Amino acid sequence: MKSLTSIGRWCLGLVIFAIVLEVCARVDDVVTYGAPFWGPYNDEILLQRDSIGKWGKPGARYAKWQLNSLGYRGPELRVGSVRILTMGASETFGLYEAPGEEYPRQLERDLNLWAGKDLFQVVNVAFAGETLPTTIVRVPQIVRQIHPSYALIYPDLSSYIWMSLRSPANNLPAQDASRSGLKFESRLSGRVENLLKQALPISIQNELRKISMRREITSRHYVILDRLPEDRFEHFRQDLQALIAALRDYEVEPVLVTHATIFSRPLSESDRISLTHWRKIYPMLKEEGFLDMEKRMNDVIRQTAVEEHLPLIDAEKEMPHGPKYFADFVHFTTYGAGVMASILANGMEPLLHSQLQAANVMTQDGSAVQPNPAGGDQR
Amino acid sequence: MSSQALLYVIVLPVAWLLLWLLKGARARQALLLIVSYGLYASFGPRFLALLIFSSILNYGLGILLRRKPSGGRLWLGIVFNVALLGTFKYVPAIAPLLPTSSLSGSLTGIALPVGISFWTFQALSYLFDLYREEELEPSLLEFLLYMAFWPTVLSGPICRLSTLLPQFRDPFQPTSEDVRRGLDRICTGLFMTALGQVLGSGLHPGQGIDGIFDSSTRGLTGPDVWCLAIGYGFELFFNFAGYTHMVIGAARVFGFRLDENFDRPYLSTTPSEFWTRWHMSLSFWIRDYLFLPMVMLRRDAWWRSFVLVLSMVVFGLWHKGAVLFLLWGLYQGLLLVVHRQWQQLQVRHDWQLSQTIMAPLSWLVTFCTICLGWVFFRANTVTQALTMLHAAANLGSFPRATLPANLFILVAVLALGYFATIGSQRLLHNYSETLTIPLEFRFALYAVAVYIGIFHAAQTQAFIYFQF
């Protein structure tokens, strides 16, 4: 009887241990991020739904991500600035960088340093999982809110892998959409996962990813593709042209940017691990298919720039590769975001020269900044 | 959390269960050795090869000394161990000074095996003890285990074979009291290392002790330097003493009792007392095997002072072959000499000073001088250290402070919190025999410590003493 009581108390102790850990995680969230103690707390709280789909919730905050009053990542709009949009997906929204160090923020600092004054404001209208079709529909709303002069388009190419598997208007992969706000979500589980990611050797993590990938392929009956079929690239070309047209309708000058990745040629062992990591998210495309996809889609971007007479910043060629610059297959480290920002700044400076001169003339005259030639009203 | 830490978390509970199944002492020692070697190899298999090489050679030297404890044989052992330590620890430090660039390049690249300073000193203590004709007759297996014992091999405490050998031979019977006390200490250690991390990294990025030491320290005022010196003193204490708590606690869960390494050092009222309370295992090693044998050679007062300074210089250089550590050792040695001179003056002139005044004053002087010495320990260059010390003594700069207010508050809160905790421990001490914490509440406390020590500290912070 005594030993039974003892076992019972130990079991109760372990339950208390787990509960207190969960409570600590929640208190930590409250203290560090101002998160609610009860209820779910995940990246979904950054988003809201409207007739088009998911969109940033004004003023929302999750962990290091803070949206402004318009629902975009970054500070509030500044009056009198020349505004430049950055359009894209998670690479542009920023995942791994320190807060305020995602490439749009660093680009803004670089441009203003070049200008010698706080003239430019880079507005990051990207979201993780954002697709070109959704962005096209959003253009009128974005332009109405921001009145930009330029739009840097850094498209997420991998969203075209999902095309046949989900509706284009849905921003997030099918499995993410099922996340409900009502069910209990442990705040500790994510932390345990992060700890294991830090602690498990990369080779073991890679094998675990392969197992999970095989399981998903089997359970969802995916047809495995060696490379993306040509129709996806045609879709991408049409979407890109439609986005350009939509922006031009509002007199916003698009600037195309090719897509950079961590992968160097020939592939290193860590590159192969990163490819497996990428494939885990899109299991239906073989690893080599991603490299082929990147090459062909970047070719589409380059061709479109020529056909549409648009400025092109070839980040794919200019951006160095490797883990110093990329935290995973396509997402930047803080340092990598800085390099990307300087590449973009170099590409943008010739385009912005006229704005800078106009601003300088206005400053000398002592009058306000005049409307810019590209159409933004610079409030 | 590093891969190695995860390995420890997985391997040790399994080893603990397996040890219950093994009946014979040799089988248990063999399992402990396999576990110790496996865990050590996770830091690099080449390091393990070196540890085994050193262990076997020292065991052989031990056999020679047991047969005939002569000075020549002891010196052979000393030369071998110092050469081994020097090759990996000091040669890379002095290599850049060599004229041949290719040679200096390859010597600079020699990697420092984890814990080499700790296990080399353990090997030396074994040889010294044999020379003193202590009754130590370990088997090869026992000696290999002594050198590689998983709790102590990375960062001490530096144990003596006479302490560990009987425990290696005892049956494996950790009591529930051992497990409870061991877990208590592991959790205390987790909590302390988390506090050390908070001091090091600060409340805001770049505003912690480490960030400020690693950025430009020009323009610092007196209050800034004192805040940094005291803050680093506590950071180092929380980090190293916290680590030691975990080591001693983990060993205790297995039923092993290791020597203590810290005994509330910042309560010391003299520098001599401080060195009997801080990093005690190294301090006592230096005292027993260096200071005492040398001081016996002559009876002159100047010789005693010289040996005192020399011992502390060795203490400093044990950490790293760098001018800053030499200066730190020199500073600590001089403090000890000055303290001794002061004591002699008191005796000579029969000064009877009121303890009510002298005890707090003595504590304050000791605390401040010890903390100021940490500037040498943490600074990145001699120039930085001297600039900071100059600022600390510059009374004109005292009304001003340039460091963020939150760092001053953090250091003050943690320092006062430390003293308050010790004070409350003393108060509770009388009730500790009757005070029992219910198991369920204990688990809740463990959870808080585990969260603060592991989960909250999302970014891994290396234990400072791993580098030595």
Contacts of A198 in chain B (CB under 8 A): 1-2, 460
Q: How far is B9 from chain A (nearest CA, A)?
A: 11
B143-163 pLDDT tens trace: 999 999 999 999 989 999 999
Q: In the structure encoding, which two tokens stand for residue B330, read together? A: 């020199």
Measured between CA atoms, the residue of chain A closest to residue B455 is A191
B4-30 pLDDT tens trace: 888 888 899 999 999 999 989 999 999
- Indicate if the pLDDT at residue B462 is higher than 70: no
A33-90 pLDDT tens trace: 888 898 888 888 898 888 777 789 999 988 889 999 999 999 999 998 999 999 999 9
How far from each other are the two terminal CA atoms of chain A, in whole angstroms? Answer: 78
- Indicate if the pLDDT at residue A326 is higher than 90: yes
B283-298 pLDDT tens trace: 999 999 999 999 999 9
Task: State how far the Cα of A342 lies from the Cα of B188, in Å rounded to an integer.
Answer: 47
Task: State how far the Cα of B407 lies from the Cα of B430, in Å rounded to an integer.
Answer: 36
For residue B87, give the 3-state DSSP assignment.
helix
Which of B8, B180, B440, B452 is the mutation pick for testing A, counting most A CBs within 10 A? B440
Residue B218: pLDDT band (50, 70, 90) is confident
Residue B465: pLDDT band (50, 70, 90) is low
* pLDDT of the residue at B106: 73
- Indicate if the pLDDT at residue B460 is higher than 50: no
Is B1 in contact with A12 (Cβ distance < 8 A)? no
Residue A374: pLDDT band (50, 70, 90) is very low
- Indicate if the pLDDT at residue B427 is higher than 80: no
Report which residue type is found at A312.
L
Of A13, A28, A198, the CB nearest to B460: A198
* pLDDT of the residue at B396: 85
Q: What is the mean pLDDT of residues B232-256?
A: 96
Q: In the structure encoding, which two tokens stand for residue B197, read together? A: 């991390």
* pLDDT of the residue at B356: 84
Of A28, A98, A198, the CB nearest to B456: A28
Q: How far is B167 from chain A (nearest CA, A)?
A: 29
* pLDDT of the residue at A63: 85
Residue A94: pLDDT band (50, 70, 90) is very high
Measured between CA atoms, the residue of chain A closest to residue B5 is A199
Q: Which helix (H) or strand (E) holds B56?
A: helix B45-67
| Range from A66-70, A172-176, B348-352 carrying the lowest mean pLDDT | A172-176
* pLDDT of the residue at A356: 82
Q: What is the mean pLDDT of residues A243-263?
A: 96
* pLDDT of the residue at A165: 55
Is A25 in contact with B451 (Cβ distance < 8 A)? yes
Q: Residue A117's CB: how many other CB atoms inside 10 A?
A: 12
A3 CB within 8 Å of a chain B CB: no
Q: In this structure, what DSSP letter does residue B267 have?
A: G
A7 CB within 8 Å of a chain B CB: no
* pLDDT of the residue at A31: 83
Q: Which helix (H) or strand (E) holds B160?
A: none
Q: Which helix (H) or strand (E) holds A87?
A: strand A82-88
* pLDDT of the residue at B431: 66
Q: Which residue has the higher pLDDT, B81 or A218?
A: B81
Ranges of beta strands (E only) in A150-309 are 150-154, 253-257
- Indicate if the pLDDT at residue B325 is higher than 90: yes
Q: Which residue has the higher pLDDT, B164 or A129?
A: B164
Measured between CA atoms, the residue of chain B closest to residue A194 is B458
How far from each other are the two terminal CA atoms of chain B, in whole angstroms? Answer: 20
- Indicate if the pLDDT at residue B459 is higher than 90: no
Which of B191, B451, B456, B461 is the mutation pick for testing A, counting most A CBs within 10 A? B451
Q: What is the pTM of this model?
A: 0.77
Q: Which residue has the higher pLDDT, A113 or B457?
A: A113
**What average pLDDT does chain A have?**
87
- Indicate if the pLDDT at residue A370 is higher than 50: no
Contacts of B42 in chain A (CB under 8 A): none
Task: State how far the Cα of B97 lies from the Cα of A8, in Å rounded to an integer.
Answer: 66
Measured between CA atoms, the residue of chain B closest to residue A8 is B440
Beta bridge partners of A47: A56
* pLDDT of the residue at B112: 86
Q: How far is A100 from chain B (nearest CA, A)?
A: 13
Q: What are phi and psi of A64, to 5 degrees?
A: -85, -5
* pLDDT of the residue at A152: 98
A25 CB within 8 Å of a chain B CB: yes
List the 159-198 stretch of A: residues with Cβ below 8 A of B.
188, 191-192, 194-196, 198
Q: Which residue has the higher pLDDT, A365 or B329?
A: B329
Task: State how far the Cα of B244 lies from the Cα of B240, in Å rounded to an integer.
Answer: 6
